[in-house]
Amino acid sequence: MSETYRALTRKYRPQSFEDIVSQEHVSSTLMNAIRQNRLSHAYMFCGPRGVGKTTMARVLARVINQIDSTVDGESLNQTLNVLEMDAASNNKVEDVHHLRESVRIPPSNGRYKVYIVDEVHMLSKAAFNALLKTLEEPPEHAIFIFATTEPHKVLPTILSRVQRFDFKRIAVDEIVHRLRKIAIDEEIAIDEESLHVIAKKADGALRDALGLMDQAIAFCGDTITHKELLQALNVVGTDRLFQFMNCVKEHDADAGLELINTLLQEGYDIQEFLIGLAEHLRNLYISHHSPQLYLVEASEETKKKYSATASDFSRDDLMRMLHIVSEAQIKLKDASQPRIQFEITLLKLIHMERTESLNKLLSELGELKKNFSNQPILIKEASEAPEKKAEEPVSEKQEENNEQELVEPEPVPEIVPEPEPVNDEYDMGQPALVTEITQKARVLHFPNGNGNSTPAPVSEVSINADDSPVKKLIIEDVRAVWDDYLNSLNNQVPKMLELQVQRAKPARLKGHELILECDNSFAQKMLEEQAHDLSLRMKEQIGVMLRFKAEVVNNTEKQSTARNPYERFKEIQEKDPMVRELVERFGAELEY
């Protein structure tokens, strides 16, 4: 076994700024700083794995201490002026104390003493704090370079004391370029398409790309062909994916399952297949629109195949499939039997209703609606305005029975004598007597379950009845004292309640009933529960006992839900200059 062999990732670790792939924004800044002698005493390099953080730190250390290239990057640590340590194994306060001690000692030769601290996010909080003082005012000769993949875990007090550089993921083209150069150096023959496969799979990390290249060389030898590469890297080829999509088109679950069965037994990874499938679907989606075909990274022949297959599915369908697949990708990560989840997902794809049949279904539904015109509306009301229902228990009962019949056409006598209270459902020890039908009945009961929580303030009614009217009040009177009233609430009632009252508006006066408008059912509930207390305080202001009643005004709410999030976002922008500023200056986007 050769002793000289060294993984490509280590062999080709750059030794100068020029060698570092991508990240020009960092290297040029650093080079300028060196040229103008304006080095900061602390840097923080952040970014995903394998983009060159540690490498950049080493190059910087090398350049400012003028260490020549005969010294290997990995043995920099053995030179006296560079100290590389990982914070994960030295994360305690004592380690930081030790570091502080050693910082005081000036470099033996050379100008700077460079401390490279990798994985700095793993330092304990105490260790971070112990470091703060040193970091802010270190001796002239000390330079700290921190590298981390998770900058959000670093204390803000640290972040504010360092110059931070964010490394970006490396673009496919740049990786390809670098790989090509290495292939020439290593005397390996590899075609362009294979380089692309490697670069794409590396997902923006050069280290991954080199690792994959290593793997490919070990597998294929000096000549890497596309076909062998796919095998070496365990990438599912497009022809298999086309085959699968054909099964989806034909709704042929049998063949689809057989296909993935063989795939799995050949040793392909489930995640790998899903990643491939997601990209495949994306390509099909794009192929729908031929001018965009250049966005598909594939050979001409494959592109033709894409356009041909694309017409089998509508864009909406492809979009939905894409959703299903990407959801499955997340779910599979912590499934205990990934294979089953995988199969279910594929069956879902195969049996997914296509848009055409859905449209048919929708029109049928419309027909149905006409026949049972008022039923669906009733259900809606039941959930939206439960308090209304509570007042009319008789009609509710009837409606419920109607619904029952809608679900189950044959007459069901058992339902009527079902007086059980709704609440003690699903008692664990319930005997086996519960039948399917009663279950259903309970499920239907459920929407009104909420209705119980709106107690009509009966007791107050009686109190107020005695309170004879002294003078005729109108709503304007209430509005006039409303501000004072709000002030009087201050510190007298729970803050939560006060806020809710502030947000509510006195709407109208109905005899001695003051009707408040509020915008959600939570506020409504809260106000009604505290109605008595609130009206007592109102009496202090206006001299008359008023009953409080809250109403949810949801026309504004309806409006806003009807619009899609983007439109709402736009509206918020128009309303709020601060948000608009954020959007204009920083390109803030909606995340939901």
Judged by CB under 8 A, the chain residues 210 through 239 that form the site for other proteins are 211, 214-215, 217-221, 231-232, 234
Residues numbered 128-157 forming contacts with other proteins, rule: CB under 8 A: 149
Which of 113, 207, 240, 280 is close enough to bind other proteins by CB under 8 A? Answer: 207
Task: Residue count of the chain, please give it.
Answer: 592
Residues numbered 103-132 forming contacts with other proteins, rule: CB under 8 A: 118-119, 121-122
Q: To the nearest whole angstrom, how small is the minimum distance from the Cβ of residue 589 to other proteins?
A: 25
Q: Which is nearer to other proteins, 269 or 384 (CB)?
A: 269
Q: To the nearest whole angstrom, how small is the minimum distance from the Cβ of residue 291 to other proteins?
A: 36
Q: Which is nearer to other proteins, 10 or 168 (CB)?
A: 10
Report the Cα 133 to chain-centroid distance in Å. 37
- What SS3 state is found at 118? strand
Residues numbered 399-438 forming contacts with other proteins, rule: CB under 8 A: 425-426, 428-432, 434, 436
Q: Are 450 and 389 in contact (CB under 8 A)?
A: no
Instruction: Give the closest residue to 500 by CA, choosing from 479, 480, 529.
Output: 529
Q: Which is nearer to other proteins, 10 or 397 (CB)?
A: 10
CA atoms within 13 A on the CB side of 377: 5
Binding of residue 98 to other proteins (CB under 8 A): no
Residues numbered 1-40 forming contacts with other proteins, rule: CB under 8 A: 1-3, 5, 7, 9-10
Q: To the nearest whole angstrom, how small is the minimum distance from the Cβ of residue 80 to other proteins?
A: 20
Checking DSSP bridges between strand 82-86 and strand 42-46, what pairing results, if any? Answer: unpaired
Q: To the nearest whole angstrom, how small is the minimum distance from the Cβ of residue 234 to other proteins?
A: 5
Binding of residue 80 to other proteins (CB under 8 A): no
The 261-290 site mask, x for binding other proteins (CB under 8 A), equals x--xxxxxx-xx------------------
Residues numbered 456-475 forming contacts with other proteins, rule: CB under 8 A: none
Instruction: Give the closest residue to 547 by CA, choosing from 458, 472, 480, 470.
Output: 458
Residues numbered 437-456 forming contacts with other proteins, rule: CB under 8 A: 439-440, 442-443, 446, 449
Rounded-to-integer distance, Cα 151 and Cα 433, Å: 59
Q: To the nearest whole angstrom, how small is the minimum distance from the Cβ of residue 365 to other proteins?
A: 18
Q: Which is nearer to other proteins, 318 or 346 (CB)?
A: 346
Q: To the nearest whole angstrom, how small is the minimum distance from the Cβ of residue 116 to other proteins?
A: 11
| Binding-site size, other proteins (CB under 8 A) | 79
Task: Tell me phi and psi for residue 143, to 5 degrees.
Answer: -130, 125
Residue 223 DSSP code: E
Contacts of the segment 480-488: beta carbons below 8 A, 24+ positions apart: 481/541, 481/542, 482/506, 484/541, 485/537, 485/538, 485/541, 485/542, 488/537, 488/540, 488/541
Q: Which of the stretches 342-350, 358-366, 391-399, 537-545 binds other proteins when contact is defined by CB under 8 A?
A: 342-350
Q: Which is nearer to other proteins, 221 or 393 (CB)?
A: 221
Which of 95, 208, 317, 400 is close enough to bind other proteins by CB under 8 A? Answer: 208
Binding of residue 361 to other proteins (CB under 8 A): no
Q: To the nearest whole angstrom, how small is the minimum distance from the Cβ of residue 276 to other proteins?
A: 14
Q: How far is CA 584 from CA 468, 580, 587, in A?
A: 60, 6, 6
Q: Which is nearer to other proteins, 440 or 568 (CB)?
A: 440
Rounded-to-integer distance, Cα 389 and Cα 396, Å: 7
Binding of residue 348 to other proteins (CB under 8 A): yes
Q: Are 324 and 349 in contact (CB under 8 A)?
A: yes
Q: Under 8 Å CB-to-CB from 491, ≥6 apart: which residues?
A: none
The pair of three-digit structure tokens given for residue 5, joined into one six-digit string: 């062999």
Binding of residue 101 to other proteins (CB under 8 A): no
Binding of residue 47 to other proteins (CB under 8 A): no
Q: Which is nearer to other proteins, 52 or 457 (CB)?
A: 52
How is 448-511 classified by DSSP, letter by letter? HHGGGG----HHHHHHHHHS--SS---HHHHHHHHHHHHHHHTTTS-HHHHHHHHH-EEEEEET
Q: Which is nearer to other proteins, 151 or 338 (CB)?
A: 338
The pair of three-digit structure tokens given for residue 539, joined into one six-digit string: 């009496």
How many CB atoms sit inside 10 A of residue 108's CB?
9
Which of 126, 184, 189, 340 is close enough to bind other proteins by CB under 8 A? Answer: 340
Q: To the nearest whole angstrom, how small is the minimum distance from the Cβ of residue 48 to other proteins?
A: 7
Q: To the nearest whole angstrom, how small is the minimum distance from the Cβ of residue 68 to other proteins?
A: 20
Q: What element of type H or E holds 84?
A: strand 82-86
Which of 31, 257, 259, 473 is close enough to bind other proteins by CB under 8 A? Answer: 257
Q: How far is CA 246 from CA 38, 230, 349, in A?
A: 62, 22, 12
Q: Which is nearer to other proteins, 381 or 425 (CB)?
A: 425
